[in-house]
Amino acid sequence: MAAEQMADRGEGPGQVPPARPLDSIDRDILRILQTDGRASVRAVAERVHVSRANAYARINRLVEDGVIRGFSARVNHERAGQGASAYITLKIVQNSWRTVREQLQALPGATHIALVSGDFDVLLLVHTPDNRALRELVLTRIQAIPEVLSTRTLLVFEETDLGPRPDRTAELA
C-alpha cells in the first residue's frame, strides 16, 4: 500500500518527494547555516528562538527533504593550489545530458555543472593548478567525450564569492 501511495505522488526508488513548505524559522535556519555551516544546533536554536530538539528536528527535515544538500567549506581555490579557473561552455549531442553529466562529474577540478538554454548546452566551472592543467583538461578529457560537439573556455581572472549576507534579506523568502 505504501509503495502505491508513493507511486501516486510520483515518488519511487531514486526519486525525492516534494519538499514541504518552509516557514520563517526554517528560512532563518537556512540563512544561519549558509553563513556558518559549522554553527552548533544549540547556537542555531538560540538565534531562531526554538528548543535545541526543535532546531535539530528542523535541520534533519531540511536535509531529508533535500533542501540542505550538504555542508561544506567555501574555498579560496588559488590559495588551495588551484590557481587557474575557467567556465567552459559545451555544445552536446541532443539527449546526451545524463551521459555527459556523469563524465563531467568525474573530472578533476569540476565544481559546478549546469544544463542551460541558449547558444550552448552545458556550463562547467573548473579549478585547476595552472593553465597547462586547464589546457589538458579541456583538450584531452572534455573534447574526448564523444557527445561533446564543441567547447569554449572562458578564463576567470578574479572571483568573488557571493555567499549570504545580512543585506540580502529576501534571498530565501
Give the pLDDT confidence of 55-88 residue by residue, as tens digits: 999 999 999 999 999 888 888 888 888 899 999 9
Average pLDDT, whole number, for the chain? 87
Q: Does the predicted TM-score (pTM) go above 0.85?
A: no
134 or 171, higher pLDDT: 134
Sign of CA dihedral 77, 82, 85, 91: negative
Pairing of strands 84-92, 110-115: unpaired
Which residue type sits at 152?
R
